[in-house]
Every structure is written in structure tokens, then in C-alpha cells.
Amino acid sequence: MVFSPLHFIPSAISALLILMLAARASPKHHKPLAVAAALFGLLGLAGYISSGNFRFYPLDLHVLHSWLGLMALLLCLYLALGGFLAHRIQVKGHRHLGYAAAVFALAALLLGLFLLSGQEAQFTNQNMSQIIQERASSRLLEVEASEYMGIKLVPISLQGNNAILGTQVVNRSTWRLMVTGMVNQSLSMSYDELLKLPAYSEAAYMPCVEGWGFEAKWTGFRVTDLLNRSGIKPGGIYVVFLSADGYSTGLPLDYLRDNEILLAYGINDLTLPPDRGFPLQLVAKGRYGYKWAKWITKIEVVNAEVRGYWESRGYSNSARVGEAPFG
């Protein structure tokens, strides 16, 4: 599911028009309804493609939604073309094709509403509270793990990935993580210095608001262990994470502390590849994927809630899995 008004608004209108066609609309209205449905469907497809998340595999609810919508659109286009060229070609079985288009459109509409509600991600995270975090070594095996604590892990090659400006390439030797804001002492730490912090591993599911996600083993240090080094001034209640590509997001300090949230430098026993966020990715358990910031360069402690990149564009600032991702 692509949570962009440029996609879901015209797509929903197209689906409703297709359903109107199947509901025995007046024959004189068949052609304009079919054309309107096809045009709105094409607008929805264009909105999908422009979002940068155009994919039809591997199979998950997001991909199933995409295929249902595409099939409804193709059938609608075929019927609309037949209406214009009725004097040249004959669309055989148009009534049955119309019913088939309506079935695909209804299924896509209902599945889209389900994904939009956030319930799919809630089901995949229902056992999150049972996840165990354990001490680990910062020296990774560099052999990709396929299973951890009885949980099957998704290979990195099959993991979805979104970014506002594409993959960022960070120079390990010159990169430093800054900690600023309402802290007693600002920090500037190198990658090797961060590897000396107590390391932990855990399995956690990264749920994208688009309806897909993946389970992985994450290794890194706790955000609060780092913040304890800098010391937090009274009134510091919110933590903002800023990335190399200009991306930003934030989370309450209490959430980071209570859930022992990690800043990961390892995934499935491998050092984070560049497309997965090297040198650091936030493991925001129980929150939608846009909270899982990658390529982090700076952490800032502030005294009020801040809306990050996607949050300032209408996405929920709490981003709790199972809740609607807007608002």
C-alpha cells in the first residue's frame, strides 16, 4: 500500500466507478463511467509509480493489493477501449469482464482500507513484547544469519528499503555521531568509539506503512547508554535523529528508555550495508518504518515533541503499529 493521496484517492474513485458499472448502471452511462474509471485508475497508478515504491514482488499484502488494483485497471481499460472502438472491434463477454473488474476493484478497495488502517502491521507485531534482548559482541561474524532464537530471518537481499534521496555512502573513518541539545556535555564519537559501548542483539520486525516488512536480527548499542554519557538536562523529553540525507524523525525519551531501543550497526550478523543504513539504523520496535532512521549523523535532545520529515507531511508522529499512520 502506498500511503500517498496521489495514489489512494484516484484509485479509490476508480474502484467505486467500476463498482457502479457492475451495479447495472444505465447503458448510456457505461462509456463515460468506464472512461472515467480508467482515467482515475491511471492517475492512481501514476501516483504509485511516482512514490518510488513501484513493485509487484515478492508476494505480501502490499503486493497482493498492487496486483488486484492492476488487474481491475487493465480490465477497465479494455472495456473502455471497446466502448470507443465498438464500430471496429467487438469486446467479447464484456458483461463478464465487467463483473471480473468489479471483483478485483472491490478486493483492492477493501484490502487498501485494511492496510490504510494499520491493522496488518499490528498482527505482525503482536508478539513484540516477548522479544528478548541479549548481550552480544560488537565484533560481528560477517556471515549472514538465517535464524535467531527460533525466529526465521529475512535475508538482506529480500528486505524492502525506502529512502528520500537513495542510498547514502558514509565514510567510516571520517564519520562522527554528534549528540547535542539539552545535554550536560555534547558528544562527538567515532564509529570505533561507539563499538566499545555495551552491545546487544535482538530480533525485531520492521513494519513499513505500505503493508510490507521484514524480521531481522539487529546488533548495536542502546540509545540511552549513549545519552547517559552526555547526561540529560531537566526538561529533555524528546530525542530527534538526523540523517546524512537530511532525513529526520523523533521519539519520546521514555519510549527509548522503556523499550531499550538500539542504534544498530549490525543486521543478521553482518555490518550494516550502505543501503541498510551504515553506519547506524534506529531499531524503533513497535513503530512504523519511517521511525527507523538510517545513516544517522546526529542526535538532539529537546524539550518538546518535534515532527520529522514524514511527520511534517501528515504522517502520525507517534507511529504506533496498529494505529492509523496519519494524523
Checking if the pLDDT of 88 tops 60, the result is no
**63 vs 286: which has the higher pLDDT:** 286
pLDDT interval class at 195 (50, 70, 90): very high
For a pLDDT cut of 70, what percent of the chain falls above it? 83
**257 vs 22: which has the higher pLDDT:** 257
Checking if the pLDDT of 121 tops 90, the result is no
Measured at the alpha carbon of residue 56, what is the angle toward residues 50 and 57, in degrees to the nearest 5?
Answer: 130
Q: Indicate if the alpha-carbon torsion angle 307, 309, 315, 316 is positive or negative.
A: negative
C-alpha 184/C-alpha 297 separation (Å) is 19
pLDDT digits (tens, 9 = 90+) for 69-84: 888 888 888 777 765 5
Checking if the pLDDT of 202 tops 60, the result is yes
Mean pLDDT of 231-240: 97
Checking if the pLDDT of 221 tops 50, the result is yes
Checking if the pLDDT of 281 tops 70, the result is yes
**45 vs 120: which has the higher pLDDT:** 45
**Does domain 129-313 bear CATH number 3.40.720.10?**
no
* Confidence at residue 89, expressed as pLDDT on a 0 to 100 scale: 45
Checking if the pLDDT of 4 tops 70, the result is no
* Alpha-carbon distances, residue 40 vs 62, 73, 106, 274 (angstroms): 20, 9, 15, 38
pLDDT digits (tens, 9 = 90+) for 19-43: 887 776 566 667 788 888 888 888 8
Q: Could you give the count of Cα atoms lying within 13 Å of 135 in the half-sphere of its Cβ?
A: 3
Name the burial class of residue 122, with classes exposed (0-12), middle (13-18) and buried (19+) by CB atoms within 10 angstroms of its CB. middle
* Confidence at residue 51, expressed as pLDDT on a 0 to 100 scale: 58
Q: Where are the domains of the chain?
A: 5-117, 129-313
pLDDT interval class at 85 (50, 70, 90): very low
User: Is 0.85 topped by the overall pTM?
Assistant: no
**80 vs 299: which has the higher pLDDT:** 299
Query: Average pLDDT, whole number, for the chain?
Result: 86
* Confidence at residue 153, expressed as pLDDT on a 0 to 100 scale: 95
pLDDT interval class at 180 (50, 70, 90): very high
* Confidence at residue 61, expressed as pLDDT on a 0 to 100 scale: 73
pLDDT digits (tens, 9 = 90+) for 138-169: 999 999 999 999 899 999 999 988 899 999 99
Checking if the pLDDT of 187 tops 60, the result is yes
**192 vs 98: which has the higher pLDDT:** 192
Measured at the alpha carbon of residue 301, what is the angle toward residues 300 and 302, in degrees to the nearest 5?
Answer: 115
Checking if the pLDDT of 93 tops 70, the result is no
Q: Beta strand pairing status for 281-283 and 296-302?
A: unpaired
**167 φ/ψ angles, rounded to the nearest 5 degrees:** -65, 135
Cα 16 → chain centroid: 27
